[in-house]
Structure 1
């Protein structure tokens, strides 16, 4: 039996790895990332704990792959919405992209928590995680690139400029998504979007809005409109 991409052995290995990840996600759906136990996963699949180490070197290795998968899933949701809103005014695109991310998060809160809650203090995020996070935020850059910096953001923009000028991968990422736009302004806006977006979504996923008289989607819309106003994003 040959070993390699597409071989029966490789297909079997991929299938088992997928089953392990599905069992792990089912655990986290109930108890969050901290609930993940390799022994419990093994029991669910009817194998011994050590057998899992043929597919994942450790619990952290499994968690890392799950984080990668979750970023890819979130990016797919945002990119799909970006395709749908092509040609709409920048302000409308900003609203739609933010809501797409919110809907992804509330539909699968255990996946969202995997991206925002460090399962173990010793689990370091590999460099690949940064690229996957960029893929989630990237579609926001073209809309924000149509805006302008505002006085209150002057110092932040200055710091972002130093970041872009001193980090070629970051500069390439911004320009790839928002060619022709001022990269410093686009990235400044993106950082603020990231903070406001997670501020609303994280509280909603934690159930902090339960019993209050507003909808999280309305609060998120207010946050995005506030930033759009500051940046002068056109509505038409």
Structure 2
């Protein structure tokens, strides 16, 4: 019996924490980033503000947890899609990442807006960065690393040094790919920009009056991206 009480408490705490995060995303979806506040969440849940503080000491703690959870869900799905293809199919793995990024984003617009949209006013991210965000960056560099022998011959990267990038990104990239030059990070950012750009326009409704088939436009962009990398 002694073990059951802590287990039950832990389960109830986890359920309450999950509800807090779900309501935070709902508030953001209806009221924008400004709507995320611990007091507003407490009112939605019929709890006191002090009770909410028992789960998240500050609003920034909640936002950091939300961002990490959303990013983790996204990255896990993208990694699974990538890893469904063999390591030597660099072009296929990049396309799988891109197409599944679009699919996830359209199915999770609130999550997309949280991690890629307007920042939450006043939010101060942790100095070491959000773990899942660094993981996503490292994964993109990994995709570029597989394409690097071809891509380097077809791309103009400019003159870059490791000091041009965030130290946490540099540490993560160099730990995984010690032989890659800074130009590979530049290329990964450019690849990411092409994947992200049309999806952001679609999520925010900016393509609605231009095309009835945004998926076809995105596929064409990704096909051109693959070609530009030498595949």
TM-score (norm 2): 0.81
Q: Which deviations, in whole Å up to 9, do the C-alpha atoms of 1:108-134 show, x marking residues without a partner? A: 1110100022111x2122145343212
Q: Is the 8 A contact 1:77 1:100 kept in 2?
A: yes
| Cα distance, 1:133–1:209 mapped onto 2, change above 3 Å | same
| Cα distance, 1:51–1:224 mapped onto 2, change above 3 Å | same
1:186 pairs with 2:184: yes
Farther-moved stretch of structure 1 (96-105 vs 208-217):
208-217
Where do 5+ consecutive residues of structure 2 fail to align? none
Q: Which deviations, in whole Å up to 9, do the C-alpha atoms of 1:92-149 show, x marking residues without a partner? A: 22111111111111101110100022111x2122145343212223333343222322
Q: Is the 8 A contact 1:38 1:49 kept in 2?
A: yes
Q: Secondary structure at the match of 1:154?
A: coil
1:196 corresponds to which of 194, 197, 213: 194
1:118 pairs with 2:119: yes
1:78 aligns with 78
**CA distance in 1: counterparts of 2:86 and 2:137, whole angstroms:** 16
Q: Is the 8 A contact 1:68 1:129 kept in 2?
A: no
2:152 corresponds to which of 133, 149, 152: 149
How do 1:94-133 residues align onto structure 2 when only pairs under 5 Å count?
94-116=94-116, 117-120=118-121, 122-133=122-133
Q: Is the 8 A contact 1:78 1:136 kept in 2?
A: no
Between the two proteins, the alignment pairs up a number of residues equal to 225
1:63 aligns with 63
**CA distance in 2: counterparts of 1:160 and 1:104, whole angstroms:** 33
2:224 aligns with 226
How far did 1:190 drift?
Answer: 1.0
**CA distance in 2: counterparts of 1:25 and 1:169, whole angstroms:** 27
Q: Secondary structure at the match of 1:28?
A: helix
How far did 1:56 drift?
Answer: 1.3
Where do 5+ consecutive residues of structure 1 fail to align? none
Q: Is the 8 A contact 1:160 1:187 kept in 2?
A: no
Q: Which deviations, in whole Å up to 9, do the C-alpha atoms of 1:41-81 show, x marking residues without a partner? A: 21221212232112112222211211111111111111111
Farther-moved stretch of structure 1 (167-176 vs 88-97):
167-176
TM-score (norm 1): 0.80
1:51 aligns with 51
CA RMSD for the aligned pairs? 3.0
**CA distance in 1: counterparts of 2:25 and 2:143, whole angstroms:** 34
